[in-house]
Amino acid sequence: MKSDQTVLILDFGSQYTQLITRRVRELGYYSVVLSGDSSLEKIQNHHPVAILFSGGPASVYESSSPQLDSDFFAYQKEKNIPVLGVCYGLQLMVHHLGGKVVGADHREYGRMKVIPQGASILPSTPFYSWMSHGDETKEIPKGFQVTAKSESGALVTIENLERKCIGLQFHPEVTHTEHGILILKNFLENTAGLKPSWKMTSVRESQVKEIKEQVGPEDHVICALSGGVDSTVAATLVHEAIGNRLHCVFVDHGMLRYEEANRVMALFEKELKLPVECIDASETFLNHLKNVEDPEQKRKIIGEQFIRTFEKFSEKLEKKLGKKIKYLVQGTLYPDVIESNPAPHAGEDKKSGHHAVTIKSHHNVGGLPKDFKFKLIEPLRDLFKDEVRLLGKELSVPESFLERHPFPGPGLAVRIMGEITADRIKVLQKADEIFIKSLHEYGLYSKIWQAFAVFLPVRSVGVQGDGRTHDHVVALRAVTSHDGMTADWYPFESSFLADVSNRICNQVNGVGRVVYDVSSKPPATIEWE
Ligand code: XMP
């Protein structure tokens, strides 16, 4: 996905790097994330028109902290590329340009008032920002000036406009910072002098062209459809590029929602003009997952079994077509890529490419087996979920697909805590179905980003009729979100929760208690595993 105006985000390990990228895109600029310690050559290859440094958990003065290429600032000066450093990014700028960063007496975490003093990209009056840092700038580099302070007089922003370098100690990308978007907009428009130019029509055109170039004129491609937005949009895009040389498969791994396989196949037939074959591989998947409790292991097993199933499907197809299948389409999204392999943190071996904070191995990124025989086509690899929905609209994918809540590839496997058994799947499917049906009934489904039930392998005491019960617990989860990167629990009316709880306890054998999850992301994640 190329653009003649790339805004580069250099990632130094902040969990908010993706948010910076999103904000820049929301403002209409194509943005790419690179690891902060990328070589200058790699950075130059993107021909960036502006560069942002993310925050990060390390301290710039530690020898093992992620550092910029030593020639970076010479290049930046020569090309006069505007740079905005956020938190660790500010400190990195100070450190590299001759200033001094030291450990602060106490960590600063949370809301803080900013008092601007003639800053070029901040509002002129005080506002609240969000901070998270343990180091502070003791000396600023030559040519820089302090352009905002905190109420206690601590340095908050610095700039050297001649050099086009600006540093912010707070995070403009998080919603807790007032005017955060405006500050980023001011940097891109005023400091960098850019005009927004990135739209979904350009994504469609460039992706179709890229797929045509990647896949030869005679090559056939397979695609696994999950019934969700991502794979459907990815397949539609590839179909637009190569027509009926695309062959889709829907794998029933036995951990789908209630009646999901039948429903999805009916949707594909009626609403999409894509030929799809359904493979029931549930027995194989469940056999491989017997006695497995560890969430990462579950994901890896499922990832591998998916690939084995695709291989069988492609072998059958190869016999029929009399030619090799080289490509597999996946609906991998940008957050999957970033969350599965974030930037290095202090103390990591950068050469080995090993990064410490892998939040989860998403099955389609972290879980691919070593002997993987396909080349991947991942047309959504640069997009966030809401951007995929926009692209789907652009491609006339029916609303019924675009409106569906996201469903993770490993399915109910990551919603059954502990071991997965056929009985547990049945219980969860029923409870989940009641919850989702109730959301539709109450007109709440489209107000929620994602909702589901979770099976907890604990038993709690209850009383039913005249007897004591000792049944399982089901947790309900419903969140609002823009992209799955951050999320808030949905504030249901208590009458709705009471109704759903009643229905589940009365209609699902083996469930004696229903609880509602009131955790946001962060600190929790959306899924329970
Ligand atoms: P978390 O739980 O990381 O979820 O907050 C964010 C979004 O990603 C989905 N998710 C997955 N999707 N394979 C997928 O295809 C996975 O392994 C996976 N894990 C989480 C999750 O449902 C939510 O929409």
Residue 171: active-site member: yes
CB 442 within 8 A of CB 429: no
- The 10s digit of each residue's pLDDT in 387-442 is 899 999 999 898 888 989 999 989 999 999 999 999 999 999 999 999 999 999 99
Domain chopping of the chain, boundaries? 6-191, 200-402, 415-516
C-beta of residue 129 within 8 angstroms of C-beta of residue 112: yes
Supply the pLDDT for residue 132. 77
Q: Residue 404 class from Cβ within 10 Å (0-12 exposed, 13-18 middle, 19+ buried)?
A: middle
CATH label, 200-402, candidates 4.10.220.20, 3.40.50.620, 3.40.50.300, 3.30.465.10: 3.40.50.620
Do domains 6-191 and 200-402 share one topology? The answer is yes
The 8-class DSSP code of residue 61 comes to: T
Q: Is 363 in the pocket of ligand 1 (CB under 6 A)?
A: yes
Q: Which of 87, 223, 248, 505 is catalytic?
A: 87
- Catalytic, 87? Answer yes
d(CA 223, CA 246): 7
- The CATH number corresponding to 415-516 among 3.40.30.10, 2.60.40.420, 3.30.300.10, 3.40.50.300 equals 3.30.300.10
Provide the 10 A C-beta neighbour count for residue 39. 13
For the CA of 385, the nearest atom of ligand 1: 24
What fold, for 6-191?
Rossmann fold (3.40.50)
**What pLDDT score does 345 carry?**
43
Answer for the pair 407, 436: CB distance below 8 angstroms, yes or no. no
CA of 339 to the centre of ligand 1 (A): 10
Distances (CA, A) of 164 to 93, 187, 342, 426: 12, 10, 28, 60
At residue 352, the pLDDT reads 31
Low-confidence residues of the chain, pLDDT below 70?
1-4, 106-108, 338-370
Q: Is the CB of 362 under 6 A from ligand 1?
A: yes
Please give the pLDDT value at position 271. Answer: 83
Q: What is the pLDDT of residue 72?
A: 98
SS3 457: strand
pLDDT score for 370: 67
Q: What is residue 204's predicted lDDT score, i.e. its pLDDT?
A: 92
Q: Which one of the listed residues 26, 173, 433, 529 is annotated catalytic?
A: 173
pLDDT tens sequence across 239-268: 999 999 999 999 999 999 999 999 899 888
* Separation of alpha carbons 509 and 495, rounded Å: 23
Q: Cα separation of 520 and 526, whole Å?
A: 8
Give how far Cα 370 sits from Cα of 63, 292, 367, 462, 499, Å. 33, 21, 9, 48, 48
